[in-house]
């Protein structure tokens, strides 16, 4: 039975703020649109699923935004049924508002370009534990390891404005081990993966020794093919996918210079897969 929440309560849960509150309210205050009703059905069918990438029907970004906002109370119920603490629930749902705010930063208007990402949250197995987010999933291609079970944790790094310091990462990994051992003991999770521009094998050499990005990457054993979309690194560091803007992008920090130098040399930084033992 879905939790009953008012529209303002949903937006508070998701930490939707400022100029985004009114348009978000406009989407969910009245009766749902016909397409959102259908999109909600598919979200409901997926709740608790551990697919690496949700396969979802084709609807517009607006329909998915509406459906995801309306679906949040059901994800909340799911978390509570699992016995997840209110603090972890609050931190995890804050990513929804963060992505709505990010859309405004990138496009100057209300929207949710990254609705596919939030559809992963809507599966109900993504949690923010300290600095990092972890999603319990079954990889489409098994990890190149001898043993360790079918399920792993996908590590994600939200842009919080805070650095990715080593002690924070250690703390998060320790929290994840305990959290998933407590709330999902049947999955016997022993490994975590990350797919990121930060794991590009040549990047660390272009960064200072003290770079958190380089140190984070050192934790992982690389595997699989690189993800061949060079615009991803641009998006995460400059919040644009428009390669025609490269000449005008700032070179203020060492990460920015490293990414742009690699573009200039014709070997752009690519998303790379790695795993670690928890």
Ligand X SMILES: CC(C)(COP(=O)(O)OP(=O)(O)OC[C@H]1O[C@@H](n2cnc3c(N)ncnc32)[C@H](O)[C@@H]1OP(=O)(O)O)[C@@H](O)C(=O)NCCC(=O)NCCS
Report the interface residues with ligand X, using CB under 6 A. 157, 159, 163-164, 196-197, 207-208, 211-213, 236-237, 253-256
| Closest approach of ligand X to the CB of residue 10, in Å | 25
Closest CA to 196 of 135, 273, 256, 116: 273
**Quick one: 123 or 212, whose CB is closer to ligand X?**
212
Q: Is the separation of the CB atoms in 259 and 237 below 8 Å?
A: yes
Closest to 208 measured CA to CA, from 169, 256, 155, 149: 256
Nearer to ligand X, 150 or 159 (CB): 159
Tokens of 262: 């690699």
Residue 138 Cβ vs ligand X, minimum distance, rounded to whole Å: 20
DSSP state of 148: S
Residue 43 or 119 having the CB closest to ligand X: 119
User: CA 105 to CA 159: how far, in whole Å?
Assistant: 13
Burial of 146 (0-12, 13-18, 19+ CB in 10 A): exposed
From CA 94, how far away is CA 276, in angstroms rounded?
26
Shortest spacing between CB 41 and ligand X, in angstroms: 30
Question: Looking at beta carbons only, is 66 or 95 nearer to ligand X?
Answer: 95
Tell me the closest approach of the beta carbon of residue 44 to ligand X, in angstroms.
Answer: 28
| Smallest separation, CB 87 to ligand X (Å) | 21
CB of 180 or CB of 197, closer to ligand X: 197
């Amino acid at each position: 039975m879905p939790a009953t929440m008012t529209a303002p309560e949903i937006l508070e849960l998701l930490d939707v703020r400022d100029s985004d509150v009114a348009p978000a309210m406009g989407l969910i205050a009245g009766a749902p649109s016909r397409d959102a009703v259908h999109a909600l059905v598919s979200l409901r069918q997926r709740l608790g699923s551990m697919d690496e990438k949700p396969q979802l029907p084709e609807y517009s970004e607006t329909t998915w935004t509406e459906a995801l906002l309306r679906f949040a109370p059901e994800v909340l119920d799911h978390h509570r049924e699992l016995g997840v603490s209110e603090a972890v629930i609050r931190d995890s749902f804050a990513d929804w508002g963060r992505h709505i705010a990010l859309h405004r930063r990138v496009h100057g208007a209300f929207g949710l370009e990254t609705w596919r990402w939030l559809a992963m949250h809507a599966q109900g197995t993504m949690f923010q534990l300290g600095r990092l987010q972890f999603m319990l999933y079954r990889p489409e291609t098994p990890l190149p390891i001898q043993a360790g079970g079918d399920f792993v944790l996908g590590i994600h790094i939200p842009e919080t404005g805070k650095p990715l310091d080593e002690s924070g990462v250690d703390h998060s990994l320790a929290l994840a081990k305990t959290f998933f051992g407590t709330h999902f003991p049947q999955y016997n999770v022993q490994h975590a993966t990350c797919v990121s521009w930060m794991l590009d094998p040549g990047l660390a050499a272009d960064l200072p020794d003290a770079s958190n990005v380089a140190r984070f990457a050192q934790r992982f054993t690389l595997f699989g093919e690189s993800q061949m979309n060079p615009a991803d690194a641009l998006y995460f560091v400059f919040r644009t996918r428009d390669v025609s803007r490269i000449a005008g992008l700032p070179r203020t920090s060492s990460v920015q210079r490293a990414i742009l130098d690699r573009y200039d040399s014709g070997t752009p930084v690519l998303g790379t897969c790695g795993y670690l033992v928890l």
